[in-house]
């Protein structure tokens, strides 16, 4: 039987310190206070002094409360039973279902050997043209959705969860408003996707330490499913809350802050999570999409900035649309050559014309004279935004490509598009226009 310690020497924020022996770094303990039991994990050893962060928070903990060490680090149960269930950041049920404690696996495991990684090659279709056509999502990719508070990034994630062609979804919520949590739950239940989904949710009112555990616990479970051959899509929302939780703990631990109060290891901490995205040769894969709100719509803020250096591109969500500029899927060229022969050229052509539209729009707003060509572009831009960029558009890739041709034909003559003659002959809707 392990010893129980009943003298807490220091309580600061969510961190408590006790004198104990035979404790190992990162070990888990149970802290029993009059408000119930909470897990805690060891974050510093200094001689006999052991500092722990308490998952349920430090409030209400008394210096006389009991601390019992469990002799292992954080674990989560892993089995098919997880599917369709909702848990907290520390792995406890939040859906009134039974507690799961079989087949416990550690979280935050070692990183994948780069020599075992393979070049990504499979596209994940989502039914959203701005993703499928213009910035294809690729299996094993890690992509953030850069956005600001108030943008519909959670509805976007839930749509991707329902429509993405993957075997299962793991949704990690960090600092979610309770409404947003209910929204996800209802949307997936109504969409019939609940049975292939696992939730690990930390809401804004839950203790902040649990927020820190959400990515690790989600990705540990994802990794096991991937090793069993499942193609897993992990959706995380919102990673900025995760970074803020780290900041909070770091400051409590009196660490020297680097940029805007964030700890110096922010990059490494984020990378350790995002780099879990992988395609296991001969087995399954993990793909990560993570909403990241940019405080003040500032992409140079430490969280989006560090994220951009880690991930393989980004989606910019602003004004309720995925912006074609700034958004980038670095891996798209690995897959969009094998979809349909017009995919790449159409994508480039439409974006080029949309860029021209933006220029014309600027000229117009500055009061310069509009030429015929400008007017054509203005018409094109409007239609493009309506029928392609709008988030409610929900069509498969091939249909989206056809629609692209239709939009072009509605606005331009074939030679104005600057596309190759061969493609025009094959795909231009009104063949009479050619010649």
Partner 1 sequence: MTKTTGKVIGVNGNMVAVKVEGDISLNEVGYVKVGEQNLKSEVIRIQGDTAEMQVFEMTTGIGVDDEVEFSGELLAVELGPGLLTQIYDGLQNPLPKLAEEAGFFLPRGLYMNALPRDKKWEFTPKVKAGDTVAAADTLGTVPEGIFEHRIMVPFNFYESYTVKKVAEKGEYTVEQEMAVLEDAKGNQHSVNMMFEWPVKRAISSYEERLEPDTSMVTKTRIIDTFIPVARGGTYCIPGPFGAGKTVLQQVTSRYADVDIVIIAACGERAGEVVETLREFPELIDPRTGRTLMERTVIIANTSSMPVAAREASVYTAVTLAEYYRQMGLHVLLLADSTSRWAQAMREMSGRLEEIPGEEAFPAYLESVIAAFYERAGVVRLKDGSFGSVTIGGTVSPAGGNFEEPVTQATLKVVGAFHGLDRDRAEARKYPSIHPLNSWSKYPGVVAVDKVDFARSILSRGDEVGQMMKVVGEEGTSLEDYIVNLKSEFLDAVYLQQNSFDPVDAAVSVERQNYVFDQLYDILGSILELSDKEDARHFFNQLRQHFIDWNYSEWDSDEFKENEKKIKTLLEQKQTGLMEEAKRARKAAESKEHSNA
The Cα–Cα gap between 198 and 263 comes to 30
393 in contact with partner 1 (CB under 8 A): no
The Cα–Cα gap between 332 and 324 comes to 14
Q: Say which residue the tokens 């110096």 belong to.
A: 264
* Residue 149 falls in which region: left (phi positive, over 0), alpha (psi -120 to 50) or beta: beta
Is beta strand 231-237 parallel, antiparallel or unpaired with respect to 285-293?
A: parallel
Return the number of the residue (24 or 425) whose C-beta is nearest partner 1: 24
CB of 187 to partner 1, least distance (A): 31
Binding partner 1 (rule: CB under 8 A), the pick from 9, 21, 338, 415 is 21
Which token pair is 74?
């954080």
104 in contact with partner 1 (CB under 8 A): no
372 in contact with partner 1 (CB under 8 A): no
Residue 361: closest CA among 383, 377, 385, 350:
377
Q: Say which residue the tokens 């949590």 belong to.
A: 181
CB of 176 to partner 1, least distance (A): 26
297 in contact with partner 1 (CB under 8 A): no
Return the number of the residue (13 or 108) whose C-beta is nearest partner 1: 108
Question: Which of the stretches 103-111, 186-194, 371-379, 408-416 binds partner 1 when contact is defined by CB under 8 A?
Answer: 103-111
CB of 109 to partner 1, least distance (A): 7
Binding partner 1 (rule: CB under 8 A), the pick from 263, 284, 324, 381 is 263
Return the number of the residue (99 or 281) whose C-beta is nearest partner 1: 281
The Cα–Cα gap between 146 and 285 comes to 23
Q: Are 36 and 60 in contact (CB under 8 A)?
A: no
251 in contact with partner 1 (CB under 8 A): no
CB of 84 to partner 1, least distance (A): 28
Number of residues that bind partner 1 (CB under 8 A): 59
Binding partner 1 (rule: CB under 8 A), the pick from 182, 227, 370, 434 is 227
Q: Are 346 and 401 in contact (CB under 8 A)?
A: yes
Q: Are 16 and 49 in contact (CB under 8 A)?
A: no
118 in contact with partner 1 (CB under 8 A): yes
Residue 399: closest CA among 408, 409, 388, 389:
388
Residue 161: closest CA among 272, 237, 81:
237
Q: Give start and end residues of each alpha helix (H) in 138-238.
A: 153-163, 178-190, 208-227
Return the number of the residue (1 or 256) whose C-beta is nearest partner 1: 256
CB of 79 to partner 1, least distance (A): 21
323 in contact with partner 1 (CB under 8 A): no
CB of 284 to partner 1, least distance (A): 11
Question: Which of the stretches 176-184, 198-206, 257-265, 373-381 binds partner 1 when contact is defined by CB under 8 A?
Answer: 257-265
Sites for partner 1 among residues 120-139 (CB under 8 A)? 120
Please give the DSSP secondary-structure letter assigned to residue 93.
Answer: B
Binding partner 1 (rule: CB under 8 A), the pick from 11, 70, 105, 112 is 112
Give the Cβ contact number of residue 186 at 10 Å: 12
CB of 3 to partner 1, least distance (A): 14
Question: Which of the stretches 95-103, 122-130, 323-331, 425-433 binds partner 1 when contact is defined by CB under 8 A?
Answer: 323-331
3 in contact with partner 1 (CB under 8 A): no
The Cα–Cα gap between 43 and 421 comes to 64
264 in contact with partner 1 (CB under 8 A): yes
The Cα–Cα gap between 91 and 75 comes to 8
The Cα–Cα gap between 380 and 369 comes to 18
Site string for partner 1, 299-318 (x = CB under 8 A): xxxx--xx-xxx-xx-----
Return the number of the residue (49 or 340) whose C-beta is nearest partner 1: 49
Question: Which of the stretches 146-154, 228-236, 295-303, 401-409 binds partner 1 when contact is defined by CB under 8 A?
Answer: 295-303
| Residue 401 CA, distance from chain mean position | 27
- Between CA 316 and CA 75, with CA 223 as vertex, the angle to 5 degrees is 110
Return the number of the residue (86 or 123) whose C-beta is nearest partner 1: 123
Q: Are 233 and 297 in contact (CB under 8 A)?
A: no
CB of 115 to partner 1, least distance (A): 4
Q: Are 20 and 42 in contact (CB under 8 A)?
A: no
Residues that bind partner 1 (CB under 8 A): 21-27, 44-48, 73, 108-120, 227, 255-259, 263-265, 267-268, 271-272, 274-276, 280, 299-302, 305-306, 308-310, 312-313, 325-326, 328, 331, 368
């Amino acid at each position: 039987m392990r010893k129980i310690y009943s003298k807490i020497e220091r309580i600061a924020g969510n961190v408590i310190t006790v004198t104990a022996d035979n404790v190992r770094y990162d070990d888990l303990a149970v802290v029993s206070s009059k408000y119930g039991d909470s897990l805690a994990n060891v974050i510093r050893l200094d001689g006999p002094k052991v500092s722990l962060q308490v998952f349920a928070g430090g409030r209400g903990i008394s210096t006389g409360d009991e601390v019992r060490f469990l002799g292992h680090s954080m674990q989560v149960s892993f089995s098919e039973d997880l599917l369709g269930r909702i848990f907290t950041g520390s792995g406890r049920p939040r859906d009134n279902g039974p507690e799961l404690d079989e087949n416990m696996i550690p979280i935050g495991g070692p990183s994948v050997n780069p020599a075992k990684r393979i070049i990504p090659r499979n596209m994940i279709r989502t039914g959203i043209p701005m993703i499928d056509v213009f910035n294809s999502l690729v299996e094993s990719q890690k992509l953030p959705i850069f956005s600001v508070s108030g943008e519909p990034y959670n509805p976007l994630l839930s749509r991707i969860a329902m429509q993405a062609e993957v075997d299962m979804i793991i949704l990690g919520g960090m600092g979610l408003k309770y409404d947003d949590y209910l929204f996800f739950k209802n949307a997936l239940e109504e969409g019939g996707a609940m049975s292939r989904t696992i939730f690990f949710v930390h809401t804004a009112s839950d203790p902040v330490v649990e927020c820190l555990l959400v990515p690790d616990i989600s990705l540990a479970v994802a990794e096991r499913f991937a090793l069993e051959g499942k193609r897993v899509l992990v959706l995380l929302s919102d990673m900025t809350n995760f970074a803020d939780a780290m900041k909070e703990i770091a400051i409590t631990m009196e660490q020297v802050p680097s940029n805007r109060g964030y700890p110096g290891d922010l990059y490494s901490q984020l990378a350790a999570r995002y780099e879990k995205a992988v395609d296991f040769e001969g087995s399954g894969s993990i793909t990560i999409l993570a909403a990241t709100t940019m405080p003040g719509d500032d992409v140079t803020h430490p969280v989006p900035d560090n994220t951009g250096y880690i991930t393989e591109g980004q989606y910019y969500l602003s004004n309720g649309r995925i912006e074609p500029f700034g958004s980038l899927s670095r891996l798209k060229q690995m897959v969009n050559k094998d979809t349909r022969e017009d995919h790449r050229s159409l994508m480039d052509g439409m974006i080029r014309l949309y860029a021209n539209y933006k220029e014309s729009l600027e000229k117009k707003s500055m009061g310069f004279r509009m030429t015929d060509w400008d007017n054509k572009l203005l018409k094109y831009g409007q239609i493009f935004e309506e029928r392609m960029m709008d988030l409610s558009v929900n069509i498969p890739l091939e249909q989206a490509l056809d629609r692209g041709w239709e939009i072009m034909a509605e606005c331009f003559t074939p030679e104005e598009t600057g596309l190759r003659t061969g493609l025009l002959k094959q795909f231009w809707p009104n063949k009479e226009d050619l010649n």
